[in-house]
A and B are shown apart, each in its own frame.
Chain A
Amino acid sequence: MKKQALLMLVLLVAATLTGCQSPGRNPAGVYGTAGEYGATGSIPLAGRFTGGTEYPGLFAPVLFAYDSSQVSATERPKAEAVSKHLKQNPSMAVIVEGHCDERGSREYNLALGERRALAIRSYLTGLGIEANRIQTKSLGEEAPSTPEHDESAWSLNRRGEFVLYY
């Protein structure tokens, strides 16, 4: 019972975190203070993984809305599948790749892609995956999965991909 309550709390924190990360949710442009930043549990990134091999394409990518870095409720099961796999294989890690559609500034999209990867990372840590097993990597608009220039291609290209690492 106690364990279940703890899990609920973790999920709630994760949902709050990812919910807050949509820039659209902060129209007033409030700047966080250092204290506020720490309080939300933002976790520094560890150094780069070395010595292993990357295994891309084993999990379905999480898709994002335009200009958003929020992991929507319908996309969460995809991250949950990865979480389950990592729990079953404690020696494995994951690189979360953030991608954007081709519209807009290349440099801004690189930053937005990183926000998407970090949103997925924070959802995974909320599910109990250790932060040091998750590395983020933004490719911005540089590596579309679908080459066409229309809404349907763009919606597939705004994504977070999972690359297993071990």
Chain B
Amino acid sequence: MKRVLLLCLSALLLAPVSNAQVRVVKSADRKLTLNLSGLRVAGDPAAQIFFQTLEKNLRLSGWFEPLRGSGELLLSGSVNRKGGDVRTTCQVIRQADRATLFSKGYSIDADRARTLAQRVADEIVEAVTGRKGIASTKIAMVGTRSGAKELWLCDADGGSVSQLTTDKSIVVGPNWGPAGDRLVYTSFMRGFPDVYEVNLRSRRRKSLASYGGLNTGAALSPDGKTMTLILSKDGNPELYVQSLSRGKPQRITTTLRATEASPSWSPDGQNLVYVSDQSGTPQLYIINRNGGRPKRLSSRGSENVAPDWGPNGLIACASKEGGRYHIAIINPTSGETRYLPTDGADYEDPSWAPDGRHLVAARSVRYQSSLYLLDTVSDAPVALVHGDGNWLSPTWSPR
């Protein structure tokens, strides 16, 4: 995804970035106020879209509080339309000592103004905080807007919602490949639950598993060479690992009285976290990718489902307590469990953003489900995709 973006952008470096090593923010707890009033934005629609997208993504990054008229940081420069292009120069100046933290110019085809704004937001976040942003990443999800459960895509800010499949069937459990160029998912397009892969560049699909019984829960390893999935071909739903280039699925669990679901790889690709109901209720377990004895992870909540092992090493899941599903974050080393603050709705199916700070989850109220951005530091949940159908099973792309 990133490579495509770079090819499409023609970035003109108009001024050198001075003092690029300055790091203003040491901790995510406190937001920096950012005065947007220094940026002169033309009335042209593409320039306006650029500015709105930039402001939204700077806010959603969690690092800034965008303001008009004052702030510790000043955003200055201009956004103009020139022929078919949007041209912009952006500077970020620290008011206290007038240091220029960021200064860059760009030009892009006007209908890609959002793409450019996302890139600028990411570059500002990195120049000021030293951390990489997430504005240029994507979210895949299941949507019912067309009447069936199809795969859909949107940007990290919930914009540019687009339908990916038109199979008039049911999609469950999409997951990104580690390079962000493909998705693996379960579809009933041929009547039974089978695992498919779709290449997002060519839009070509291939079947990855279609054994008798259940084929689901596919997730690709961090090196992209191995797939984990749930199969029932041997007579009971179990966890398997399979090389994508050769060989047969290798069975990892043997729980004839129970079922497994929803495996997710550890960042180093050595372990898997998954759901098993061997204790009588669905709970989380960790097992080595080569098998062995699983270790129970979840301790709080009557049910713990849909785990996602994040790039930060923490495991997010949906945890049921008091009759509601909450998003829980579990440290697999210490076992420490934290529930994100809740508002009475059900939050399910969390997926980590690549910044290791944000999550996307399905929030449902009265059987209407929409996608929300959750911040593990301080911000309240923000609606990303909602209305005109249900939005389910979100999964955040890598960078």
Contacts and interface: CB of A to CB of B under 8 A. Distances in A.
Nearest to A131: B235
B172 A29 contact: no
B212 interface: yes
B281 A67 contact: yes
A114 B232 contact: yes
A138 B237 CA distance: 11
Contact of A107 (B172, B191, B210, B258): B172
A133 interface: no
A37 interface: yes
B392 A136 contact: no
Given A25-B257, A115-B237, A107 B279 contact: no
Interface stretch (B29-37, B160-168, B259-267): B259-267
A149 B367 contact: yes
A105 B214 contact: no
A36 interface: yes
Given A21-B257, A67-B281, A118-B232, A110 B214 contact: yes
A35 B232 CA distance: 18
Interface string B244-282: 000000000111111111100000000000010111111
B275 A114 contact: no
Contacts of A36: 256
Contacts of A25: 257, 280
Contacts of A140: 172
Contacts of B258: 23, 26
Interface stretch (A45-53, A73-81, A84-92): A45-53
A23 B280 CA distance: 4
Interface string B343-380: 00000110000000000000000010000000000000
Nearest to A32: B256
A105 B278 contact: no
Given A23-B281, A24-B280, A44-B233, A110 B275 contact: no
Given A46-B212, A107-B217, A111-B261, A31 B281 contact: no
A156 interface: no
Contact of B257 (A20, A44, A135, A137): A20
A40 B235 CA distance: 11
Contact of B393 (A33, A45, A106): A106
A67 B282 CA distance: 9
A55 interface: no
Nearest to A122: B235
B305 A104 contact: yes
Given A42-B234, A46-B212, A135-B212, A108 B256 contact: no
Given A110-B216, A115-B259, A138-B193, A105 B275 contact: yes
Best-surrounded residue of B192, B216, B258, B294 (most CB of chain A within 10 A)? B258
B75 interface: no
A104 B262 CA distance: 13
A33 B234 CA distance: 14
A105 B348 contact: yes
A37 B254 contact: yes
A57 interface: no
A131 B233 CA distance: 13
Contacts of A33: 254
A27 B277 CA distance: 10
Interface string A81-121: 00000000000000000000010111110111011001000
B66 interface: no
A129 to B, nearest CB: 15
B237 A111 contact: yes
A32 B257 contact: yes
B282 A105 contact: yes
A115 B261 CA distance: 12
A37 B256 contact: yes
A96 to B, nearest CB: 10
Contacts of A28: 279
A142 interface: yes
Contacts of A58: none
B233 A138 contact: no
B213 interface: yes
Interface string B271-314: 00001011111100000000001101000000101100000000
Interface of B: 149, 170, 172-173, 186, 188, 191-193, 210-214, 216-217, 230, 232-237, 253-262, 275, 277-282, 293-294, 296, 303, 305-306, 318, 348-349, 367, 392-393
21 contacts: A23-B259, A25-B257, A26-B280, A44-B233, A45-B211, A67-B281, A104-B282, A105-B306, A105-B349, A106-B173, A107-B172, A107-B261, A108-B306, A110-B186, A112-B277, A114-B214, A114-B232, A115-B236, A115-B259, A139-B188, A139-B193
